[in-house]
């Protein structure tokens, strides 16, 4: 059992057994309408990720990685198939149910960061803690921003942060609740080698210390190599 009693207690919606995988994907597909009719972005994919596993998703630009990650996190709706997170079939839930599950279990780092522009760096990181009614939101957020090297940028609004700084705020926001499931889309895409290394270290620390399951989309072979498993997507299919 990779996850401790604290974590298990916080994952209240899951059935008691604890033996189910962190993520079970079956027949998952995404099709969208386009000018020429229908475009299949993701063909039916099936895979399973065990708790505390670290999975890299790699593939060329446009192959469907971000689409897949969004579907895994309940941020999109599939055209077919299922995503079961810790025993919960997320697309059988309504939108509110999925939002509650995301709040409880999930950290997500978007490829485009998606910081809230009217909140400072510190406020962006405090938000998920405040939504959970956590005590010491400010202290925890400050500590996490320090871990990503941004102690001197707490009061900056996103538009006054560099791309790499915004990415680190997005990472801090995803990590600060120590979620059992951590999804990150190109988490080091805007970072220099040393900062990227610090962020990778932080993600794998969360994995080790809290048994967090990590799913990382990356073009970085070195990061993929550090994951316990890699899946490759080409033109919307697993290869
Ligand atoms: N809503 C949509 N409507 C039409 N096409 C879409 C939509 N969403 C994604 N696509 C297309 O699906 C393909 C896969 O997109 P996706 O963003 O998943 O790629 P990716 O593998 O993450 O690429 P990158 O490495 O460049 O981030 C792309 O060709 C994209 O243009
Ligand atoms: Mg992408």
**Mutational pocket test of ligand 1: of 34, 35, 37, 41, the residue with most ligand atoms within 8 Å of the beta carbon:** 41
Mean of the per-residue pLDDT values for the chain?
91
Enumerate residues lining ligand 1, CB below 6 A: 32, 34, 39, 41, 59, 61-67, 111
CA of 61 from ligand 1 middle (Å) equals: 8
Q: What is the pLDDT of residues 107-136, one digit of tens each?
A: 999 999 999 999 999 999 999 999 999 999
Closest residue (by CA) to atom 8 of ligand 1?
Answer: 67
Q: What is the pLDDT of residues 29-60, one digit of tens each?
A: 999 999 889 999 999 999 999 999 999 999 99
CATH number, domain 7-238: 3.40.50.300
Query: Which residues on neighbouring strands pair with residue 227, listed in sequence order?
Result: none
What beta strand segments (E) does 36-116 contain? 37-49, 54-58, 80-85, 88-89, 106-109
Atom of ligand 1 nearest to the CA of 70: 18
Instruction: Decide if pLDDT at 14 tops 60.
Output: no
Q: Would you kindly state where each structural domain of the chain is located, as residue ranges?
A: 7-238
Distance CA 112, CA 89 (A): 27
Global pTM reads 0.89
CA of 223 from ligand 2 middle (Å) equals: 16
CA of 79 from ligand 1 middle (Å) equals: 15
């Amino acid at each position: 059992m990779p996850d401790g009693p604290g974590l298990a207690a916080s994952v209240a919606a899951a059935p008691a057994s604890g033996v189910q995988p962190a993520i079970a994907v079956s027949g998952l597909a995404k099709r969208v309408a386009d000018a020429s009719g229908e475009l299949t972005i993701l063909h039916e994919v099936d895979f399973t990720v065990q708790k505390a596993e670290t999975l890299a998703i790699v593939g060329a630009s446009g192959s469907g990685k971000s689409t897949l990650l969004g579907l895994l996190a309940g941020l999109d709706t599939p055209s077919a198939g299922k995503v079961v997170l810790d025993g919960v079939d997320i697309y059988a839930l309504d939108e509110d149910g999925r939002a509650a599950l995301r709040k409880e279990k999930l950290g997500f780092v978007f490829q485009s960061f998606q910081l809230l522009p009217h909140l400072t760096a510190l406020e962006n990181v405090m938000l998920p803690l405040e939504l959970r009614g956590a005590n010491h939101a400010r202290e925890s957020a400050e500590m996490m921003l320090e871990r990503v090297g941004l102690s001197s940028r707490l009061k900056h609004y996103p538009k006054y942060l560099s791309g790499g700084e915004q990415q680190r705020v997005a990472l801090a926001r995803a990590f600060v609740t120590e979620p059992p499931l951590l999804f990150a889309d190109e988490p080091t895409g805007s970072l220099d080698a040393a900062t990227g290394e610090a962020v990778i270290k932080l993600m794998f620390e969360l994995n080790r210390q809290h048994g967090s399951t990590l799913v990382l989309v990356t073009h970085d072979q070195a990061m993929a190599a550090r994951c316990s498993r890699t899946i490759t997507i080409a033109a919307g299919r697993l290869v």
